[in-house]
């Protein structure tokens, strides 16, 4: 399997005009003067983890998403239970026990504290890790600069996860509304859904689609349904890969799967709607288009409700 060389360390130059602007207080090369190797240190931690297990890369992208959609990109998803708060975000139903990648963030934080004590925020580490996981899982096709300068939050509530994180059974309207509440467009929602090209899902997340209903135009492809049903009949709550064609690669195969009804979640199948079907088709068949849009959408997501003051 091809593993691309790491990209060069960022320099404090203005961002490319293609991505939408991030929050004003965020900047590319934010740590250039205070911790020059900050992004390289995070990248090294992510590279080691992804080379050992590409599934961790998918987990890091999801970790970034789940952090930003609850109280903004402030690393509140990392906070552990305390006597004063026994139920932080990481124990919320959408996060526990499926959210992964915490150990990679911990390793990067430890290395950064050794190199530049007290300089790099955990919120920026999560954002850098999501960016770097994107690069490695896309086999080098999707590299981009991630603006930084986020402060960490200190409020983390499990009760806020369900109202803010789109469920796998969401309708198209629910998806549009939830992304709009974070300042993201319907097109960005379709674009970010492409992250389902990697990773695994617990059977309980799509059990409502098994067996497929022949009269439902959004039903799962019968061949795929039969295959996952065998796996899901095992004891416990097994996991299956989300993309059966290129399971380890972050690519536009997801959109081809949507068109072929070979996706697991009801929320994925909803993208075949007439409202978003054209975007799915373009992402599926125009080479390189989705990668460019995904890079821009990740930067936009990274600016959601950021804390730029301690």
Active site residues: 66
User: Cα separation of 253 and 90, whole Å?
Assistant: 30
The response to whether 140 counts as a known ligand-binding position is: no
The reply to whether 106 sits in an annotated binding site is no
- Do you know the residue count of the chain? 310
Please check if 89 is assigned to a binding site.
yes
The Cα–Cα gap between 149 and 214 comes to 51
CB 195 within 8 A of CB 62: yes
CB neighbour list of residue 274: distance below 8 Å, 6 or more residues apart: none
Sign of the CA dihedral running 281, 167, 100, 202: negative
- In Å, how far are 30, 116, 161, 310 from 147, measured between CA atoms? 7, 19, 25, 18
Residue 237, annotated ligand binder?
A: no
Name the DSSP letter for residue 160: G
- Cα–Cα nearest to 56, from 199, 265, 259: 199
Is 10 marked as binding a ligand?
Answer: no
On whether 221 is known to bind a ligand per the annotation, the reply is no
Phi-psi region of 57 (alpha: psi -120 to 50; beta: other; left: phi over 0): alpha
30 is in an annotated binding site: no
d(CA 268, CA 183) in angstroms, rounded, equals 21
- Give which of 310, 298, 296 is closest to 150, Cα–Cα: 310
132 is in an annotated binding site: no
Check the annotation: does 70 bind a ligand.
yes
Annotated binding site for substrate: 166
Annotated binding site: 67, 70, 72, 74, 76, 89, 166, 196, 243, 246, 251
Annotated binding site for Ca(2+): 67, 70, 72, 74, 76, 89, 243, 246, 251
Annotated binding site for heme b: 196
């Amino acid at each position: 399997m091809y593993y691309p060389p790491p990209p060069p360390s960022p320099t404090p130059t203005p961002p490319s005009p293609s991505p939408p602007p991030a929050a004003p207080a965020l900047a590319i090369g934010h740590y250039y003067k205070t911790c020059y190797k900050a992004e390289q240190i995070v990248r090294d931690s992510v590279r080691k983890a992804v080379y050992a297990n590409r599934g961790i890369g998918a987990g890091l992208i999801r970790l970034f998403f789940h952090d930003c959609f609850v109280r903004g990109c402030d690393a509140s998803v990392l906070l552990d239970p305390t006597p004063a708060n026994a139920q932080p975000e990481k124990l919320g139903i959408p996060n526990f026990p499926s959210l992964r990648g915490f150990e990679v963030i911990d390793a990067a934080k430890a290395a950064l504290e050794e190199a530049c004590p007290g300089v790099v925020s955990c919120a920026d580490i999560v954002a850098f890790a999501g960016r770097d996981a994107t690069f490695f899982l896309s086999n080098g096709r999707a590299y981009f600069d991630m603006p930084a300068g986020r402060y960490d939050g200190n409020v983390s509530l499990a009760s806020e996860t369900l109202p803010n994180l789109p469920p796998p059974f969401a309708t198209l309207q629910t998806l549009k509304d939830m992304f709009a509440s974070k300042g993201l467009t319907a097109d960005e929602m379709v674009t970010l859904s492409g992250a389902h090209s990697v990773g695994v899902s617990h059977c309980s997340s799509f059990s409502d689609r098994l067996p497929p209903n022949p009269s439902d135009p959004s039903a799962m492809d019968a061949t795929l349904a039969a295959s996952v049903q065998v796996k899901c009949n095992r004891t416990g709550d097994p996991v299956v890969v989300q993309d059966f064609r290129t399971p380890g690669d972050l690519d536009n195969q997801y959109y081809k799967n949507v068109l072929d009804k070979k996706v697991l979640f009801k929320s994925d199948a909803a993208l075949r709607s007439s409202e978003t079907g054209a975007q799915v088709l373009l992402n599926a068949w125009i080479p390189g288009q989705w990668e460019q849009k995904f890079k821009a959408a990740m930067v936009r997501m990274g600016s959601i409700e950021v804390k730029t003051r301690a």
